[in-house]
Structure 1
């Protein structure tokens, strides 16, 4: 039997069951704004879009370093809803299962009374509809919605007073409990499928990396003689290959550095992300910078250039490379990058370098040699000393052609799995929305 519905009066919520109510967030949840000034806890917690609230030591994907002065942190308790005020719109929300200290940019909320199931509202805050409702509430950052309906944003802080004023649906406690129990079970099954798929993707990425590393250090020809490279992490190399250092093959140049007011308008700008995410630079980069003709000459982006990520909060993100396969007119590149421009491009195949500088032995060299102080940084002296294997030009082209074919197959498999994860994630959000707004009812046991 279908239930009677009514208009909630809130656009993103839509219709709700007749017996449900609408209340402001502050009537349901209280912000826990407790400072850690007496060092109540030294157990640091972290929050991410993909992994919820976890001990800082277990966080994924790097990120900002923890502050040394823990008195600047806030305290979170088990059962608190934790939100990142800068990334709520991207889904950075989770429930803490620990007592610990968290970044000052986090908000913690706990139930105002016994009629509130905190897990129900945790699910509500994960819906895309709720996240969309936050657009316009942040302070001064442009939000772009991509073709899949997700938000690409830099950092956008949502003030807590604006969160407190938001209207939320309020089922009775019994129904909150039923919805929470049902969604916990359903979402656990979905998340296990996603985790298994992610593990499969990682295996394919490792296979691709191993294939690249073997090809650019041993070649792809059979029945050949080898010689000692002189480097333990490289080992034997084909006898006719040369070995030199980066300083011998090209000139290095750090990127442009300008104030924030110069960005978002003007001419093409190659960003840190353009290099970190791609083996080859996009033909059309999204970044813009107000640059002069002189700057465009000094920091130009030409075919054959190789760019390296120069600095980051974590060592895992430094030293990634991307090649330029076609001139980008009037472009400049970021100060967080280093450009390698080969002296004699006719002796080096750009496609070969695309793979060579992404190989596992290069990562090993950089991680081993790099010093991590407050930020990981790749300086020109270190990069100049990095060994480079140079096969004959014709063999470089052979290797590049071989890897293009093999890596394309692997990349297509990875892409399909990533699309599956995206579809499952969208289904999860849609499922949550249908139940937390009462459009679908959890049967009473």
Structure 2
């Protein structure tokens, strides 16, 4: 028997079964905002045992269930802030920076003001069903958000957000079905992400092996004198970067005045957001400064074709060879290296793609995530060094190998996009009743 459908009257939903109703979030859920205790008061935080979710917690999840948060607050911190306890099996959404990420909480917790929670207030809904509903509303919720610095979804907009309301037994039936099917899709997604991670790990290990051992696997080796480098070919040297360059400097330390059309001004994100270093920089999307300000900046730091840019703040150590002639300036988050005749700039770029700088930093006593490279540290980096001719041979070898690996990674990343699109479409068809669970 074909189910009769009707127009829901809600653009993002479309048609729904004729026996379904529509409603707004506030009719079936209590919308609970979050809050942050004063961070300067240690009694609100020290030895806290109340889970306290922020949008950052969503980013580190391997699943859609939040069991434990990065930070916790105390009972007195809870009582002296606008944060509230959210019962287990509620739905938590990020409502700013970004809008629309969704998790389920299987334990009681509070949230900060970047989240809002949907707590069942009538006892006649299946929260798991509505979790799936909210999973597919990100784009719609973003369109309802406002803000200049960042988008934020207001409590009123969320309360009045229109949703469908099928009979509760049908909610349960759909949710149970999706639990099974979506977990299968998620398993494929997880395997694909793991495969990408393994390809990236293999690529870095290949680069590290090649720039420390060379292409001749039968070459006699000697101790480099540096623990993190290990053995190198007998006729190689290990030299500090300051001896292989004529200048190592960072970009301007002040924020220039941006204009709509002018000279490109590169920041760290301009070289770190591409999938690989072979991807050209899109200068139409970079910041722009006036010619006058550019000419003033290049008196101190003048990037030229054949130089190397390296990210030194945020995501550290990402290299970009300047292989273009157009003028540009750089911000303090980028380091400019002008190499001398002892080293090929592309070989140096591969050094930064290896694991050597991280090993050197670790052996130097630094632990945890490093988010800033000082120029003095960069100058002291030790580079395994062959002749320039052999460096060029290594570059040609790694260009070919890495291009192949990057191609495989891009295929996997495209598969991720397709799987996520399919997953969203699959959920949409069932939660809106366009496809029936038999």
SS of the aligned residue for 2:429 comes to: helix
Structure 2 match to 1:48: 59
Is 1:272 the counterpart of 2:272 in the alignment? no
Q: Which moved more, 1:347-356 or 1:267-276?
A: 267-276
The verdict on how the C-alpha distance between 1:268 and 1:140 changes in structure 2, with shifts beyond 3 A counting, is: farther
Structure 2 match to 1:83: 93
- Asked whether the equivalents of residues 120 and 180 of structure 1 are also in contact (C-alpha less than 8 Å), the reply is yes
Structure 1 match to 2:323: 326
SS of the aligned residue for 1:364 comes to: helix
CA–CA separation in structure 2 for the residues paired with 1:83 and 1:283: 34
Is 1:255 the counterpart of 2:268 in the alignment? no
1:104, distance to aligned residue in structure 2 (A): 3.0
Q: Which runs of 5+ in 2 are unaligned?
A: 38-43
1:355, distance to aligned residue in structure 2 (A): 1.3
The verdict on how the C-alpha distance between 1:116 and 1:331 changes in structure 2, with shifts beyond 3 A counting, is: farther
Is 1:434 the counterpart of 2:429 in the alignment? yes
Structure 1 match to 2:177: 182
1:231, distance to aligned residue in structure 2 (A): 0.6
- Asked whether the equivalents of residues 41 and 101 of structure 1 are also in contact (C-alpha less than 8 Å), the reply is no
Structure 1 match to 2:33: 33
Is 1:103 the counterpart of 2:112 in the alignment? yes
TM-score, length-normalised on structure 1? 0.83
Q: Which runs of 5+ in 1 are unaligned?
A: 58-65, 142-153
Deviations 1:46-72 (A, max 9, x none): 212863435345xxxxxxxx5999666
The verdict on how the C-alpha distance between 1:183 and 1:258 changes in structure 2, with shifts beyond 3 A counting, is: farther
CA–CA separation in structure 2 for the residues paired with 1:375 and 1:362: 11
Q: Quick one: which of 374, 385, 388 aligns to 1:379? A: 374
RMSD: 2.9
Is 1:119 the counterpart of 2:120 in the alignment? no
Q: Quick one: which of 269, 280, 283 aligns to 1:282? A: 280
SS of the aligned residue for 1:377 comes to: coil
Structure 1 match to 2:41: none
Q: Quick one: which of 133, 152, 173 aligns to 2:140? A: 133
- Asked whether the equivalents of residues 81 and 93 of structure 1 are also in contact (C-alpha less than 8 Å), the reply is yes
1:186, distance to aligned residue in structure 2 (A): 0.6
The verdict on how the C-alpha distance between 1:290 and 1:279 changes in structure 2, with shifts beyond 3 A counting, is: same
CA–CA separation in structure 1 for the residues paired with 2:121 and 2:259: 44
Q: Which moved more, 1:245-254 or 1:185-194?
A: 245-254
Q: Which moved more, 1:423-432 or 1:222-231?
A: 222-231
- Asked whether the equivalents of residues 275 and 320 of structure 1 are also in contact (C-alpha less than 8 Å), the reply is no
CA–CA separation in structure 2 for the residues paired with 1:260 and 1:324: 24
Q: Which has the larger radius of gyration?
A: 2
Q: Quick one: which of 157, 160, 172 aligns to 1:162? A: 157
- Asked whether the equivalents of residues 88 and 131 of structure 1 are also in contact (C-alpha less than 8 Å), the reply is no
The verdict on how the C-alpha distance between 1:368 and 1:159 changes in structure 2, with shifts beyond 3 A counting, is: farther
The verdict on how the C-alpha distance between 1:163 and 1:295 changes in structure 2, with shifts beyond 3 A counting, is: farther
Q: Which moved more, 1:301-310 or 1:164-173?
A: 301-310
1:400, distance to aligned residue in structure 2 (A): 0.7
Alignment size in residue pairs = 413
1:233, distance to aligned residue in structure 2 (A): 0.9
- Asked whether the equivalents of residues 94 and 122 of structure 1 are also in contact (C-alpha less than 8 Å), the reply is yes
- Asked whether the equivalents of residues 227 and 236 of structure 1 are also in contact (C-alpha less than 8 Å), the reply is yes
Structure 1 match to 2:6: 6
Is 1:232 the counterpart of 2:227 in the alignment? yes
1:399, distance to aligned residue in structure 2 (A): 0.5
CA–CA separation in structure 2 for the residues paired with 1:126 and 1:49: 17
TM-score, length-normalised on structure 2? 0.84
- 5 Å-filtered alignment, 1:192-203, equals 192-203=187-198
Q: Which moved more, 1:199-208 or 1:428-437?
A: 199-208
Structure 2 match to 1:306: 308
